[in-house]
Structure 1
């Protein structure tokens, strides 16, 4: 099943995508996470929408992110991306051994989730604005301390993900050996459609799926990869996320950036002059086979207001 979410006079409304041209509405006010929380409820609601839901032209729908995830963990699973990105700060660096020890992640901002066609503002104070092409897995069943074998049954489906990043802000804050935080805090766009896990089974390749991933800026292809090149599977991500805690319906687990999927990696491999950072007016387009994609225009953001400590080491020592 493919599910979209769009703006209507009654508010945000889920709909089943019937074909490339038509959607059928579910009742307004129903959210994807609540349908995922009960086994079979999404299927039943979708089947009812196919029979009785109001039908609309997909091309005329004002599409939103398919869900508002309560939490968003973004992992790092593509070794070639990581190997290229670390060269940005150290040209002699290689893939850190920890990459194959744990599927590391950071928590990002669920309030920053944006729609597949929304404008994306440049974050305050950012001069090195970047995109990141990923796929996100959506948790369908709650679980805690799951094994990898168990965790596969807790993934309900998938969505395209573009994690926009303020690189200069990110690098500055991570000198404190924390983060990233503000560097990832402004916008993460989700693809136009949530695709249930069964839809991707024909594309199964090892522990992942053989899906082509592409990202373009102003129509120019800048990066491509295949999803099955991820070194950690989505069940492994869900299992690690559940370790010592609970994952719940609607939680979003990002694959991390694919090879060639962001400017930071291209800068690391080819130098800072390889391609300019994103600027207002640029249009970033992502596509993933079977999952749709995003198309976002970059716009000017808010100014950065000064923030200062109320005291400093020098002042404290003088006193």
Structure 2
């Protein structure tokens, strides 16, 4: 089942069900007004949404319409909680190596995670608005999940049943702002720009054999200005799958339905797979040559993030954004 939030006057959008091939959609208003409402009432609404999805895929739903990825918000246009992890330590290790720092052994035992801004997310085709190119504008292509209500001290095995939806992320990072913020010892704030999610969120069963219950094993494709930046495998070199990330987040608290958890930048030790962020490519250049030659984004640059099934079909639709200057 694939779900999306059509842009509307409601800040949380209007829930629609999308066909498997992303060609058609139908309103889910009679079942659930918004995705947030659906996740909060998942046990009762999921069967009805599934029936609607099955009928749509069979071509038997009155009122269906052509699905337009430019007309949707992020699946959750805003969320009560957005937690971003760092499950791919090959990314952490390389970036730290480029600045002459070792990765602490503790990073292998417990995931890094921060709580990001979630009062609004941009749509998957909305521009990335920044005030200055000097901020070091970068992308971070990730996989994310949406949970239902999760109890405190949830075990990794228990956590799997709380993963209701999967989607993709472009988490904008402002690399020249981040170091000074981190040096304060209080975490990210201004160093993280707008966050966008894929046009649709999918139930794990849509991923079929490529979902093991806690992670997806497919390549995450990233293009910058129509050139392939990389297609690392999301199921490889994943030190902390989503069950581990949920367990970590619930050590001292519960999670409310609609909580989004990101994997962090997808990255492989096999650098021939390319990269899901510019900073990782720059870090490898520093390690190999002593100097980074790849620039961060300039105004007018575009980024596209997408994931395809074994037959080459887009699963989540595409995050496709242009970097634009903020205007007063």
TM-score tier by shorter-chain length is 0.7 to 0.9
The equivalent position to 1:66 in structure 2, one of 50, 69, 75, is 75
Work out the CA distance in 2 between the residues paired with 1:153 and 1:159.
Answer: 17
What runs of 5+ residues in structure 1 fail to find an aligned partner? 304-319
Q: What does 1:152-231 align with in structure 2 at a 5 Å threshold?
A: 152-184=160-192, 186-204=193-211, 208-229=215-236, 230-231=238-239
Cα deviations by residue, 1:153-208 (Å, 9 ceiling, x for unpaired): 01101110010011111112111122122101x30110011001222242135852
Corresponding residue SS for 1:264: helix
The equivalent position to 2:94 in structure 1, one of 84, 89, 110, is 84
Give the superposition deviation at 1:99: 1.7
Cα deviations by residue, 1:220-261 (Å, 9 ceiling, x for unpaired): 111221111211111111111111101111101000001221
Cα deviations by residue, 1:46-74 (Å, 9 ceiling, x for unpaired): 53474656311113761110112211110
The alpha-carbon distance between structure 1 residues 8 and 73, as it changes in their structure 2 partners (threshold 3 A), is: closer
Match of 1:132 in 2: 140
Corresponding residue SS for 1:268: helix
The equivalent position to 2:296 in structure 1, one of 277, 284, 288, is 277
Please list every run of at least 4 consecutive aligned residues from structure 1 whose deviation after the TM superposition is greater than 6 angstroms: none
Higher strand share: 1
Q: Which of structures 1 and 2 has the bigger CA Rg?
A: 1
Instruction: Give the root-mean-square deviation of aligned CA atoms.
Output: 2.3
Conservation of the 8 A alpha-carbon contact between 1:25 and 1:53: no
Q: Does 1:254 align with 2:257?
A: no
Work out the CA distance in 2 between the residues paired with 1:207 and 1:274.
Answer: 36
Match of 2:319 in 1: 294
The alpha-carbon distance between structure 1 residues 94 and 142, as it changes in their structure 2 partners (threshold 3 A), is: same
* More displaced stretch, 192-201 vs 271-280: 271-280
> TM-score by structure 2 length?
0.84
* More displaced stretch, 6-15 vs 166-175: 6-15
Work out the CA distance in 2 between the residues paired with 1:77 and 1:149.
Answer: 17
Match of 2:270 in 1: none
Aligned pair count reads 300
What runs of 5+ residues in structure 2 fail to find an aligned partner? 268-274, 309-314
The equivalent position to 1:23 in structure 2, one of 22, 25, 29, is 25
Q: What does 1:92-131 align with in structure 2 at a 5 Å threshold?
A: 93-123=101-131, 126-131=134-139
Give the superposition deviation at 1:142: 3.2
Conservation of the 8 A alpha-carbon contact between 2:153 and 2:250: yes
> TM-score by structure 1 length?
0.87
The alpha-carbon distance between structure 1 residues 215 and 237, as it changes in their structure 2 partners (threshold 3 A), is: same
Work out the CA distance in 2 between the residues paired with 1:282 and 1:131.
Answer: 11
The alpha-carbon distance between structure 1 residues 40 and 198, as it changes in their structure 2 partners (threshold 3 A), is: farther
